Amino acid sequence: MYKQQNKGDDTMKPTFILLKNSTSTPFFFVVPPLDLKIESEQDTQIFKIIDVGEKTLIGNRKAERITFSTFFPNLKSPFFNYLLSATPSGCVETLTKLKNDKEPLTLIVPEFNIFFKCYIQSLNFSIIERTGDIDVEISLIEVTKNKTLLDVARGLLQR
């Protein structure tokens, strides 16, 4: 049965995990982002035809993108968790290494049923306040399978 929560109760805090492969140590975002942006676009082309108007052609879908921002808490912060995270600078080093390795990652957010195969497209770090926290903005781009010439030939043979 559904139980209504009071304003003073804790709300659901999703778990954000970045995983390189099944044998690697997962990277936990200790402070989950407040906002998550998922972009999904389609290739389109619009043609103007005299006496008819505009006609739209729909192409293939583009790679999806997920963007969010959070922060890495200072060791003295109440948000810091000794079990799940390293120092803020250690978190920066880990994410930078994951980006530079150019290997596929998986973003897992079980509460939203998100299992997103991706690469890190961009990372932005900043220290705005003198708290020792490090703000991070991360943009992930979907891993898409590139069609090879062989795939194209097989597709033609299947027709």
Among 29, 108, 107, 40, which residue's Cα sits nearest to residue 72?
A: 29
Amino acid type, 108: I
CA distance 75 to 85: 10
Angle formed at CA 100 by CA 107 and CA 29, multiple of 5 degrees: 35
pLDDT score of 1: 35
Q: Is the pLDDT of residue 64 over 80?
A: yes
Residue 75: phi, psi to the nearest 5?
-60, -30
Residue 22: partners with Cβ closer than 8 Å, 6 or more residues away: none
CA distance 5 to 35: 21
pTM, full prediction: 0.74
Q: b/e map of 111-127 (b: 16 or more CB within 10 Å)?
A: eeeeebebbbeeeebee
* Three-state DSSP state, 98: helix
Of 57 and 122, the one with more pLDDT: 122
- Give the burial class of 45: count Cβ atoms within 10 A of its Cβ; 0-12 exposed, 13-18 middle, 19 or more buried: exposed
Residue range 18-46, pLDDT digits in tens: 998 877 888 988 888 989 999 999 888 88
Residue range 88-133, pLDDT digits in tens: 888 889 999 999 999 999 999 998 899 999 999 999 999 877 777 8
Of 96 and 1, the one with more pLDDT: 96
pLDDT score of 12: 66
Residue 131: partners with Cβ closer than 8 Å, 6 or more residues away: 74, 77
Got the DSSP string for 105-116?
EEEEEGGGTEEE
pLDDT score of 50: 87
Average model confidence (pLDDT) for the chain? 81
Q: What percentage of the chain carries pLDDT values higher than 70?
A: 79
Question: How much is the average pLDDT of 48-71?
Answer: 89
